[in-house]
A and B are shown apart, each in its own frame.
Chain A
Amino acid sequence: MADHDSAVTHHEEHHEAHGTGFYWQVGGVLAVVTAAEVAAFVYRDLFGHVTFLTLLFILMFAKGIGVVLYFMHLRGDARIFQFVFIVPFTFAVSMVLGFLVLFSHHVGIAG
């Protein structure tokens, strides 16, 4: 049992390996991504609508993944935590995308 607890503690604290310099780097990258999002919005007329949407979705997911993996330490954490978060997250993304498609052009129950 003691070995089991020790393994759990070791597994859950795997993320301790990152130094503060690493977190500053992640923060810097996330700040750059935010600046890129705002720049894409300001210069949105330069892109087609689909390109603009795709670009913003990619940047949004990049930011979200950075926060979840490195600030919330989901990377390297116990698999059950990943499961408990990723499953509802997948449902949520599917729901948002599904409803946006359903309601985008006066189709379905949008009337």
Chain B
Amino acid sequence: MSSSAGQAHHGEAHQKPLVGSMGVDSRKLGLWAFIGSETLFFATLIVTHLIFYARTSNTLSSVGALELLDPRLGYLAIELTTVLATLLLASSLTMVLALAASKARDWKRFRIWQLATILLGASFVGGQIYEFIHLYHEGLKLAPAFEMHLSHEAHKALTALNLDPSIVRLKEAGEHATALVPSLFGVTFFVMTGFHGLHVTIGIIWLIAIYVKVSRFPESPENPMDIELGGLYWHFVDLVWVAIFTLIYLI
């Protein structure tokens, strides 16, 4: 009995937020500051990619080849990424439901929603790996040029334009025709979306750690804040995808 009372007292001691000089929980403030810095990090990656896309499309447009060689229209189909966006959005919903369940101390519901969040996140990463492999085989590589497969009609049309090889280099081998376009479009695309995928993967590991910890120590008074911090990070990676989905795939 005295042992339980001791544990309860120990729990109360931890239940207080770690209030710093700013008058708020220091861990939460630190995470918000991290999210603020990450916002700038991803904005830099996104704008770099958009600049290389704009430069490539301007060059191709100036030689009359944009309709045939627009790297976005050629590579970035939105069917898969719409599914990925939906998965991540759904995971944000399940995450906030997990947090609400934890605040109500309903650990059974918490485990269901947290597990759903982890599975949805893992599905997103799986879809992104599939997309990367598909794009790589299509010719988009982590290299300072991208290669596009051409139909015979497109190859004929481009040949007729008599393009400068420094802008577009055409190749034809048997039934296959390709165009090699110097641009960092592929590099910036893979770096940007790859970093986002890495953040999602780290988020999944974080959420699994929270799941295991809460399952083993459901009475720990630190659980709600641990879950809230993991959830904040998870919603942030969803927020980044909201921007990437629109700016990279739709516009």
Contact = CB atoms under 8 A, between A and B. Distances in A.
A20 B104 CA distance: 11
Nearest to A86: B36
A41 B133 CA distance: 25
B92 A71 contact: yes
A64 B243 CA distance: 8
Contacts of A110: 51, 54-55, 58
- DSSP class of A's interface residues: helix, strand, loop or mixed? helix
Contacts of B238: 67, 71
Nearest to A9: B17
B47 A99 contact: yes
B89 A27 contact: yes
B7 interface: no
Interface residues of B, number: 53
A90 to B, nearest CB: 10
Question: For this complex, into which size category does the number of interface residues on chain A fall?
Answer: 35 or more
B100 to A, nearest CB: 5
B239 A68 contact: yes
B97 A23 contact: yes
Interface string A9-30: 1011100101110011011001
A95 B48 CA distance: 11
B97 A20 contact: yes
Nearest to A53: B251
Contacts of B120: none
A5 to B, nearest CB: 6
A31 B86 contact: yes
Given A72-B235, A78-B23, A96-B43, A85 B32 contact: yes
Contacts of B95: 71
6 contacts: A34-B82, A37-B246, A40-B250, A67-B92, A91-B40, A103-B55
